[in-house]
Amino acid sequence: MNNTANSQNGSCAFITGAASGIGLSTARLFLEREWSVVLADSDAERGQAAEHELNGTGKVLFVQCDVGRSEDIPRAVAAGIERFGRINVLVNNAALLGPGDLLSSSDADLEHVLAVDLFGPLCVSKYLINHMIKLGEGTIVNVASISCFTGSPNYPAYAASKAGLIGLTRSLARRYARHNVRVNCLCPGSVRDTDLRFRSTKKRYSADEELSLMKKIPIGRTLQPREVAELIFFMASPAAAAMTGSTIVLDGGEMLGL
């Protein structure tokens, strides 16, 4: 599929967790294909830097939005609609790994992970679906994780939240398909060059950990954020017009090695 075939002039994507990693790569890809993009992220410094980097065309708006705080969401959505007139696509990408060991985790920390990783997508969807119905079209892509299927001994709240996104995806798909609003879920495996682990634990993978992970992945490497972004774009595009309620795994065969 070439850029011309995939461009939709006047269309706009609202991407959460858009200041880095998968979210930023997805924003770049939509912009390359002539979409407008709302970058929603809780990190104002990085979000403003991303807006400055990408805003040569005037098609980018950064809105500071912590999707774990319900009061942030309607303001961010309204700002995007006011700027671009319409939001056709929602990419629910923002996430936290959260605390590791369950037994030593505080209730507040666990609640925060659930708020960002599950309540956030639910709430952002709530505020955008009515707008999409009025437009006569819309697509939501929920970015989950292969931990939906494998579980995560180190991050149980994260895995539980991501598994919940599959139920949310199917529920919204069933309810709103007749309104021409499609909802699908993408479950990536390990992705390189994201700061998800560091933001949650302040730790990066050691060389030994990286090597151990590579040995478990049949293709011999982790995913690039751009590869995930390409699939998100396909799921959001007219090429996937008959797809709703689906859950797709993109993991280089990682689950096969676990």
By DSSP bridging, strand 138-143 and strand 36-41 are unpaired
DSSP 248: E
Residue 138 in domain: yes
Report how far residue 44's alpha carbon sits from residue 50's, in angstroms, rounded to the nearest whole number.
10
Q: Residue 62, SS3?
A: strand
Q: Is residue 3 part of a domain?
A: no
Residue 207: how many CA atoms within 13 Å on its side-chain side? 0
Calpha distance 213→205 (Å, rounded): 10
CB 27, CB 60: distance < 8 Å: yes
Judge contact between 255 and 149, C-beta under 8 A.
Answer: yes
- Does residue 205 have an active-site annotation? no
Q: Give a yes or no: residue 258 inside a domain.
A: no
Q: What is the number of domains present in the chain?
A: 1
| Cβ neighbours, 10 Å, residue 21 | 21
Q: What CATH number should be reported for the domain holding residue 16? A: 3.40.50.720
**Which strands make up the sheet holding 89-92, listed edge to edge?**
60-64, 36-41, 12-16, 89-92, 138-143, 181-188, 247-250
Six token digits for residue 235: 């799921």
Range of the domain at 74: 8-253
- How does pLDDT run along the chain (258 residues), one tens digit per residue? 334 335 556 899 999 999 999 999 999 999 999 999 999 999 999 999 999 999 877 899 999 999 999 999 999 999 999 999 999 999 999 999 987 788 888 999 999 999 999 999 999 999 999 999 999 999 999 999 999 999 998 899 999 999 999 999 999 999 999 999 999 999 999 997 665 654 555 566 666 667 777 788 999 988 999 999 999 999 999 999 999 999 999 999 999 986
The pLDDT of residue 195 is 57
Cα separation, 184 vs 252, in Å, equals 20
Is 186 within the bounds of a domain?
A: yes
Of residues 127, 155, 158, 176, which has the active-site annotation? 158
Distance, CA of 65 to CA of 119 (rounded, Å): 14
How far is 223 from 219, CA to CA, in rounded Å?
A: 10
Per-residue pLDDT at 26:
98
Quick check: 80 and 12 in contact, CB under 8 A? yes
Bridge partners of 16, per DSSP, are 40
Q: Does residue 224 lie in a domain region?
A: yes
Cβ atoms of residues 91 and 25 within 8 Å: no
Within 10 Å of residue 13's Cβ, how many Cβ atoms? 29
Is 1 among the domain residues? Answer: no
Whole-number CA gyration radius for the chain: 17
Q: Is residue 2 part of a domain?
A: no
